Structure 1
Amino acid sequence: MDNRTAMPLAVVVGSGIGGLTAAVALHRRGWRVTVLERAASLQPVGAGIGLAPNALRALDVIGLGDEIRALATWQGDGGMRTPGGRWLSRTDAQAAVARFGDPLVPVHRATLIDALASRLPDGAVRTATRATLTDPGCPATGRRAVVTTPDGDIEADLVVGADGINSALRPTLFPAHPRPAYAGFTTWRVVIPAPDRPFAPHETWGRGALWGTQPLKDGRVYAYAAAGAPAGAHAPDDERAELTRRFGTWHDPIPAILAAVAPDQVLRHDVHHLTTPLPAFHRGRTALLGDAAHPMAPTLGQGGNQAIEDGIVLAHHLSPHGDVGAGLAAYSAVRVPRTTGIVRKSARVARLLTLTSAPAVALRETVMTLSRFGPGLALRTFDGIADWRPPQHTYSDRAHQRDDA
């Protein structure tokens, strides 16, 4: 039997950011990895993501951190504004680096997906493949997990559920647990060419609504918006028209961005979160990560960042020839409390977003304005989040070759 056949098999269900991070980290740790993706391709939705210092350090573990840091664009000031354009607070990019050791790097999700996928062996990712967890497995008895696909069953030593907020694996593992609940607001996202006039990165807070604009290294702009709305609501015409009604009179460059958006470029999604944490992020030989484990409101920008952390920590605790049960228990013990705290903090910030009464909005603006006395005051929101550091274990591409030699 050759070494490759002898290597334990990890099956990752879902090829989003968290699933691919876990797949790369497990591969570098020495696992044989198969990624199953139900979509026809790896191309994600056309939106951006802000990679915070905690995620950049996690990506260092798999040799990707510096490649992403090179995509940083923000060198000066940015901050929070009112719809009329008044600055509520300013945040200096260098202050963020000084406090947390790294910048915030906005990238297109496709850029990150491509970078992760390029670090997997040819044939590791199978698209257009629906997967069902038939048996989560049992490390204590040696029973392997079973994933059923249209091409047949796959027996695995480890299954990673990275299948998103509507995860099919989560209710299979924890059928009695509540489903994610509507957070009270919806979001819109667009990526377009940059306006002719330069602008400072900003997040603008109005009455029950928010707009953010971030430049990307490739010359495009990632813009996002959020507003209170009934669950399941849609624009009576198209979502660009809805954005124009809600944000068209806000400060520059928002009107210019809206004018450049085609109706079919706007992505709209209701926000759901799981504020009652799962009892664990694993059962048997099966682990959950990212939105499958801890869906959160995007108000701290940590959903994808926490999925990256999950993938790195999972691989850290799972040696390919070690005790899978003990490794998964260690993973849950570390990740459940950390992500629960961030889910709940994101929910508290979401409540601030949905404020609509004039006195409450005025009080919110007063608190935000306090950060004018120093960017460190605003950055403290991310203390205990952006300053996270991964377990001290860096995986070489050749590590499993040495282990099996």
Structure 2
Amino acid sequence: MMEAVQEDIVIVGGGIAGLTTSLGLHRLGIRSLVLESSDSLRITGSAFTTWTNAWKALDALGLGDSLRPNHQRLSGSMATSTISFEAKGHEVRCLQRKLLLEALSNELPSGTIRFSSKVVSVEESGFYKLVHLADGTILKTKVLIGCDGVNSVVAKWLGFKKPAFTGRCAIRGCVDLKRNHGFGTKFKQFFGRGFRSGFIPCDETTVYWFLTWTLSSSSQEKEMEDNPAEMKRFVLSKLGEVPDVVEAIIENTDLDGVTSSPLKYRHPWELLWGNISKDNVCVAGDALHPMTPDLGQGGCAALEDGVVLARCLAEALLKEPSGEKGERDECKRIEMGLNKYAKERRWRSIVLISIAYMVGFIQQGNGKVMSFLRDKVSAYIPGLQLKMADFDCGKLIIS
């Protein structure tokens, strides 16, 4: 058996939650190691809506001001009704995932991210955890943080089940037209039977778009899997009669910029009774709260997680030792710090998962009853989105 290499803090997953947590710890003077299974930053996913709560998290990390110039502020949302973000005092932008991950990673010390490092299992060794990688490497760590997405190895170790499939899928894309897209600063949405689509400007020339729909058969997703040309045709067929500018956005998107994925979520009651943290292990981001995209809060919540987790863990690690000395005291403090993080994030995660699922169910439901509900309720959804975004994860300050 290969000899284990010791690391104080190991973060599994180099996505939004993982890099945010690592940078938060770095800002507070604590080193961590990020294990990323890919051979480079995972910049797929195009873009995502960053609401007020996300910008508060980015400001806490010291990244907000560097990202704002490349992402124009959205003035409002247009669907069944129009709502002004600015009038409500909210900052909403569409943030390109590639630029966010690069900004996070560029602020980390060299060697923080270890690429091509796929975790296959976790083993206990006293209070320590042994993290086994696909290449045979074994890491022995005092703190293990799972930010490894919906199929999280760490979440499985904590006892969570695999996320549930909603019966819906999403196709996403992002295109730089190299000219003014004509959308202004409004988030435009379209609805139909069993589908919802949106077009969100990132800047004056770049637009992020998505379409979520209810599968009509189990083979429908497989027919489009790894076939972006078919995905584009499917999106255009679903949209039907739309303005020329909308059709042009889809047609001009490069095939390598189009992705499809099933929409999954964690049952809220799992978070009510499950272990977000246990001993010196915890989860964050999609490993904690996979949710449907109907509130646009998945990436935003991952940023919140990272800031809160870094603060709670740093408070534990930097706290003056109590009466007990040495390793036993440190183990106790780590466990208390992760428990504090879990307590802060449990209800926030439950609420976001539940409301996102409810909104998606209403907006994309079929039948006369659901159509009636959609017509009555849809006007209130933008306000609900703003209410969920009215949240402050706090600063990176040790009390």
| Same-fold call, TM cutoff 0.5 | yes
Q: Does 1:172 align with 2:160?
A: no
Report the secondary structure of 1:179's partner residue: coil
Residue 340 of structure 1 and its aligned partner are, at CA, apart by 0.6
> Aligned letter for 1:94?
E
1:305 match = 300
Residue 66 of structure 1 and its aligned partner are, at CA, apart by 2.2
Contact 1:248/1:258 (8 A) holds in 2: no
Q: Does 1:339 align with 2:338?
A: no
Q: Does 1:295 align with 2:290?
A: yes
C-alpha separation in 1, matches of 2:8 and 2:146: 14
Task: Kindly report which structure 2 residues correspond to 1:100-249, keeping only aligned pairs within 5 A, or say none.
Answer: 102-135=90-123, 143-149=127-133, 150=135, 152-174=137-159, 177-194=160-177, 198-199=182-183, 200-217=186-203, 219-229=205-215, 230=217, 233-235=221-223, 238-249=230-241
C-alpha separation in 2, matches of 1:353 and 1:51: 21
C-alpha separation in 2, matches of 1:318 and 1:294: 20
C-alpha separation in 2, matches of 1:187 and 1:22: 27
> Aligned letter for 2:130?
V
C-alpha separation in 2, matches of 1:193 and 1:333: 41
Report the secondary structure of 1:70's partner residue: helix
C-alpha separation in 2, matches of 1:218 and 1:24: 30
Contact 1:247/1:254 (8 A) holds in 2: no
1:315 match = 310
- Bigger helix share: 2
Change (3 A) 1:359 1:287: closer
| Percent of aligned positions that are identical | 26
Change (3 A) 1:265 1:157: same
Contact 1:71/1:105 (8 A) holds in 2: no
Instruction: Summarize deviations over 1:5-43 as a string: whole Å, max 9, x none.
Output: xx9721111000011000101122222211110101014
Contact 1:56/1:69 (8 A) holds in 2: no
Give the one of 270, 281, 298 matched to 1:277: 270
Residue 111 of structure 1 and its aligned partner are, at CA, apart by 0.5
1:399 match = none
> Aligned letter for 1:364?
R
C-alpha separation in 2, matches of 1:321 and 1:147: 24
1:73 match = 72
Contact 1:317/1:327 (8 A) holds in 2: yes
> Aligned letter for 2:293?
P
C-alpha separation in 2, matches of 1:61 and 1:144: 30
Give the one of 246, 250, 268 matched to 1:254: 246
Instruction: Summarize deviations over 1:349-370 as a string: whole Å, max 9, x none.
Output: 111122222553244224334x
Contact 2:24/2:396 (8 A) holds in 1: no
Report the secondary structure of 1:112's partner residue: helix
> Aligned letter for 2:131?
V
- Where structure 1 has 5 or more consecutive residues not aligned to the other structure, the ranges are 1-6, 81-87, 372-376, 396-405
C-alpha separation in 2, matches of 1:75 and 1:290: 25
C-alpha separation in 2, matches of 1:197 and 1:391: 36
Runs of 4+ aligned residues of structure 1 deviating over 6 Å after TM superposition are: none
Give the one of 360, 371, 394 matched to 2:370: 360
Report the secondary structure of 2:294's partner residue: helix
Q: Does 1:328 align with 2:338?
A: yes
Instruction: Summarize deviations over 1:297-343 as a string: whole Å, max 9, x none.
Output: 11001111111111111111112344101001111111111101110
- What is the TM-score of this pair, normalised by structure 1? 0.83
Aligned length: 365
Residue 196 of structure 1 and its aligned partner are, at CA, apart by 5.4
- Where structure 2 has 5 or more consecutive residues not aligned to the other structure, the ranges are 1-5, 320-332
Contact 1:145/1:155 (8 A) holds in 2: yes
C-alpha separation in 1, matches of 2:223 and 2:121: 37
Contact 1:48/1:106 (8 A) holds in 2: yes
Instruction: Summarize deviations over 1:231-277 as a string: whole Å, max 9, x none.
Output: 56233672112112212433443222222134443211010101232
Q: What root-mean-square deviation, in Å, do the aligned CA atoms of Structure 1 and Structure 2 show?
A: 2.3
